[in-house]
A and B are shown apart, each in its own frame.
Chain A
Amino acid sequence: GAGVSQSPRYKVAKRGQDVALRCDPISGHVSLFWYQQALGQGPEFLTYFQNEAQLDKSGLPSDRFFAERPEGSVSTLKIQRTQQEDSAVYLCASSDTTLRGSSPLHFGNGTRLTVT
């Protein structure tokens, strides 16, 4: 079956523009995560959904970042008024079980955001 799909693969935005990044998880996966990965670093947690409920948004760096998953499937990460420090790869991952830390994450290839 298809893996986690993210679009676009690359996005260039001028400082101050709004962007929307899409994630299509593996069908049937209940849990969905967003991560931010700076160059040469490990992924940093942003937010977590279980179905349509956003259970943890403690990693969102500012109120310019907003994520939603209205029907419990596709998710969108929106960044308003982009800043240069938002430049990074944004990773989406899904997992097939809830409330169990032993389930591995299935990652998409990410969206590379460059803010100029």
Chain B
Amino acid sequence: RKEVEQDPGPFNVPEGATVAFNCTYSNSASQSFFWYRQDCRKEPKLLMSVYSSGNEDGRFTAQLNRASQYISLLIRDSKLSDSATYLCVVKPLLQAGTALIFGKGTTLSVSS
């Protein structure tokens, strides 16, 4: 089983739609969770961290379910500019300063 698994998509939605991405992770001791965004032919960039209580940043909502080892990202009122690949990222609970593990990403295409 891969450490971080995502549905690769693509998700094709019209502007204004609400879309949700899911991600599962295998290491139950993982301590930190993130969503990164990667535009075509560009480097990944941090979109938002994911907290146990759930957190929201404008149109974006991230949630964590530790019991099910499941992370989600909800995008409301999709914009054309949201088209990108969304990477689910997990930090394993190992020694201090461990590296992030990336999922393969879910591709979103928003059309007008």
A binds B: no
Q: Which B positions have Cβ atoms within 8 angstroms of A?
A: none
Chain A interfacial positions (CB closer than 8 Å to B): none
